Amino acid sequence: MTPDCILLVQGLSKHFGGVKAVTGIDLEVHTGETLAIIGPNGAGKTTFYNLLSGRLVPSSGSIQFKDHDITGLPPHVISRLGISRSFQLNNIFTEMTVRENVEVAVTAQRRESWRWANRAAANKAVQQDADALLAELSLAHLSDRVAGTISYGDKRLVEIAMVLATRPELVLLDEPTAGMTPDETGRIIELVRTLARTGHYTFLVTEHDMRVVFDLADRILVMHHGSRLILDAPEVVRADPEVRRAYLGDEAADMMEPA
Ligand SMILES: Nc1ncnc2c1ncn2[C@@H]1O[C@H](COP(=O)(O)OP(=O)(O)OP(=O)(O)O)[C@@H](O)[C@H]1O
Ligand SMILES: [Mg+2]
């Protein structure tokens, strides 16, 4: 691995019976970059995330994260090493407050085993972490709201707060703007951009919204039928005739035009 490489994927495949969901993916992700992963429905994007995050064991190939071979390791181990992901569908506890949701995520990832005597201090630390995160994401004003009652866009932001609760280095976002209004989408773009600028995070982002892709991505990986079609700078991907016509369709090709 080169020094600026945070994730090295080699020959990664996942087959479900006869379905080659992911097949022979090679990918080197650079520390600090935002890499968008695009491709039609069923291209294998979520399966790829499931392999990286340990929810699925690869059929073949390897995944190296920093100094660790994480191929086939379980999700909680991969999460503790510094990879955190969001899910394509909303995944928060609707009966709990926003702060409690984030506290759950913070607690779940604590490496320390607290003694009973330290319980109060532990709770305080968790609450402080959660509050800091909520402030960082401009969600502090929603802390005491029951999560089920806030807007869809805010729910997805809370979900991102939960993803960041583990203080990961590599963040996998699966369609973070799906179902959002243009305003809500704008907030997500701004948030990811701001977080990326801190230099603390490397992002992989799957997206169908080309505005998000071209606003955020340093590079774009196009997947098709489970394999890597192209990996390049946005302007190269945008101009690639194969991507435009054969794999994204005319409608998506139009969306790839600069506004
Ligand atoms: N657990 C599974 N069992 C069987 N087939 C699966 C499973 N998970 C995914 N697949 C298949 O693998 C292929 C890739 O699916 P995947 O969900 O990774 O695509 P995607 O690129 O995330 O699509 P979308 O854009 O719709 O989210 C599809 O053909 C899908 O039906
Ligand atoms: Mg998907």
Average pLDDT of the segment spanning 230-258: 75
The answer on pLDDT for 140 being more than 90 is yes
Indicate whether 74 and 174 sit together in one domain. yes
Q: The domain that contains 175 carries what CATH number?
A: 3.40.50.300
Indicate whether 150 and 175 sit together in one domain. no
Indicate whether 27 and 131 sit together in one domain. no
Classified as helix, coil or strand, 110 is: coil
**Structural domain containing residue 136:** 97-167
Domain boundary among 150, 167, 184: 167
Classified as helix, coil or strand, 168 is: coil
Indicate whether 173 and 160 sit together in one domain. no
Answer yes or no: is 62 within a domain: yes
Domain boundary among 122, 140, 167: 167
Q: Which two tokens stand for residue 238?
A: 């945008």
Relative to beta strand 68-69, strand 83-85 is unpaired
Among protein residues, the one with the nearest Cα to ligand 1's atom 28 is: 42
Answer yes or no: is 108 within a domain: yes
Q: Which residues contact 127 (CB under 8 A, 6 or more apart)?
A: 99, 103
pLDDT tens-digit series, residues 2-11: 879 999 999 9
74 C-alpha to center of ligand 1: Å?
A: 20
What pLDDT does 117 receive?
56
Indicate whether 172 and 252 sit together in one domain. yes
What pLDDT does 107 receive?
86
38 C-alpha to center of ligand 2: Å?
A: 10
Indicate whether 104 and 146 sit together in one domain. yes
pLDDT tens-digit series, residues 181-220: 999 999 999 999 999 999 999 999 999 898 899 999 999 9
Ligand 1 neighbours by CB, cut-off 6 Å: 16, 19, 21, 39, 41-47, 88
Q: DSSP readout, 114-159?
A: --GGGHHHHHHHHHHHHHHHHHHTT-GGGTTSBGGGS-HHHHHHHH
49 C-alpha to center of ligand 2: Å?
A: 9
Best residue among 23, 45, 173 to mutate for probing ligand 1, ranked by most atoms within 8 Å of CB: 45
Give the whole-angstrom CA distance, residue 250 versus residue 170.
Answer: 33
Answer yes or no: is 113 within a domain: yes
pTM of the model: 0.91
Indicate whether 187 and 65 sit together in one domain. yes
Q: How many separate domains does the chain show?
A: 2
Among protein residues, the one with the nearest Cα to ligand 1's atom 11 is: 21
Indicate whether 174 and 258 sit together in one domain. yes
